[in-house]
Structure 1
Amino acid sequence: MPDIDLTKEASYFREKISKEKTITLDFGYLTGVVESWWNKNNHQETHILKTQLVNLFLTYLRAEDTFYFDKVGLANGCAAVCIKNVFSLDSPKLALTVHEALADLFHLTDIKYEYEEHKALYLKPFAEKYREWGNGHGDITPHSDDLYENLNVDYLALTVCRDITKTPTAYYFPCDLLCDLNDEEMHELLTMQATFISGKNVSGLKKRVRHVVKFSELYGFNFSLDFRIDSENGERMRATDGGQHVLDKIRAGLPNARCHVSTAETGTFLIVANHKILHARPMLNIDASEAREQAHTSTFNTTPRLLFRSKGPRKHYFPLDETTYTREAH
């Protein structure tokens, strides 16, 4: 077998992953339509409202906006889509309906694990004591979701119902995390495997071994990276057969790594390709004592920060036409 040209290999890899991008869309031209429809129909059941809203989006959205529904995570597509101004009303029911409708349109199959109430993210009891937890007060280190599961999670989607703390979701492209690796370290990364372990949200301990980097013609380069450190189980990602120094070097660069942020405002929907982007969050912009008080007294209508979340594999792509949903509605 001929020797690998590490310079050529690393150069090709760097070039490819540097092309990943986020698309930002503004649905402000549709806000009034959505809220007018909502005010007339919000008494109906959630599944009926979702079907109506999907049809409304397909009827009124511009073609350049629907274009991205089946492009997230593809090699020639985009790694994330952030949509602003879908709605402006502070209504948990509306936020959840919008979230479920857009998740469907982006072909996300939401997975409900028996051990996790994952849909609503807000301050929960003892939130002030925890970091690395979506319902906690502390920061969350860059990671991709559920790498310890047998399932492959293709997408993560978040919708902001309210966020008076103004704490955005941060997300990192791998090209910005790996820029300090030399060619030899890059080769190690491309060939290594790691063990991924579960954290606070899982009873017991789950583990899965994955290749850290995988490639396919359809999806391009996909990554499995998780830099969180659990208070009980320790590092959530550990190299299996050498290469831990490479992961440690990436971790050491995280505080100075370039990142992007979503819009922490009512009516924002963010969807990311889970194996192309690592997501994170700084500590919430409220002090620990307020977090403790809010976590024990807040409801959906009073909590300072309420997001809805979906995560799971991609559905088989289907034609984006109204007949798909009209049949379901009857």
Structure 2
Amino acid sequence: MKNRKLLKYHSYFGLISGVFLLILGISGSILVFSEDLDDLLFKPYEVHHTQQILNLDKAVSTVQQQYPRWEMRIVHFKKGESIRFNLRKLDARRDLFIHPVTCKIIADIDTNSQFTKWLLVLHYSLHGGTLGRILLFFTGILFFLSLLTGIAVYRKLIFKILLFKVGLKRKNKRVFFSTLHRYIGVWALFFNCILAITGIVLSYGVAMGGLKSPKEPNTPNMEISIERSLSQIIEKYPDFKPTYIRLPKKPDAPLIINGIFEMDAFYLSEFFNKFQIDTRTGQVRSVQKISEASILTKIYSMVSPLHYGQYGGIWIKLLYCLIGLSGPFLSISGFVIWKKRRK
């Protein structure tokens, strides 16, 4: 295929997806720091008690009494620190902070009112429900196609640009933006390909989830000791660190405990290590380790950490922030080049 035709397709793919890339890029660059922003927001509700106590069972009982039939997830449970619950009920979301010793509710926050939550919904659905989810799925595909056609168009210049052998031309506005477009596109190419591919996979799951009819949770009261279950798991698997607990959404469903094994690679998701606990006997039904999973499952477990930059510290987050902003810049500069070329 000739370069002129490739450039034509590259322009069309970029122009169509460009409007949404502005939103995705800016929101994604902020969401990289969502955990840090939430930590600042939740700091007034954090308790660090001198007694290294964690009354997890009592905390669960307290929450279930006041919030019956809510889907419950325990997202933070360290000894001597506030226990954090995430409650869900169709479109409703709440964050609860429970005192680790007294088990009194310190704070009850409407999750949907938080800026990071609003931004996350914007990022994966444009606040447009199922239609917005599907639209962003196709946007991801178009963005990936624009990257592929861009590689084909500028294939002879890629290594020259990486080695700074192509000067930044300032002959006129179109030439300047064209050169800058190439530089930003080439230097951000690797990470943008990762973001596009992982974004397509994630948005497909989100779109498919939006097509299903949601059901109200019917969470049963816990009759077993979660503390005892955790102790049994840690005793048998001392290299396991539990990080996330999902209470059953319906009777006879298992209690699920996710976490990290010491030997797990840093880019694998914690949610692919899974202990299923029988809620009647307290016994472990099954154990799933990502280290023992198939290659395909391991690759799939990398999708979320790679897309959100969850595998590194502040420098990785800053890098992701800059790469995220490259998408909006490429959209704007691409539009300027296309408009000038048409004139």
TM-score, normalised by the number of residues in structure 2: 0.20
Find the structure with the greater CA-based Rg.
2
Larger RCO (alpha carbons 8 Å, 6+ apart): 1
Point out the structure with the larger strand share. 1
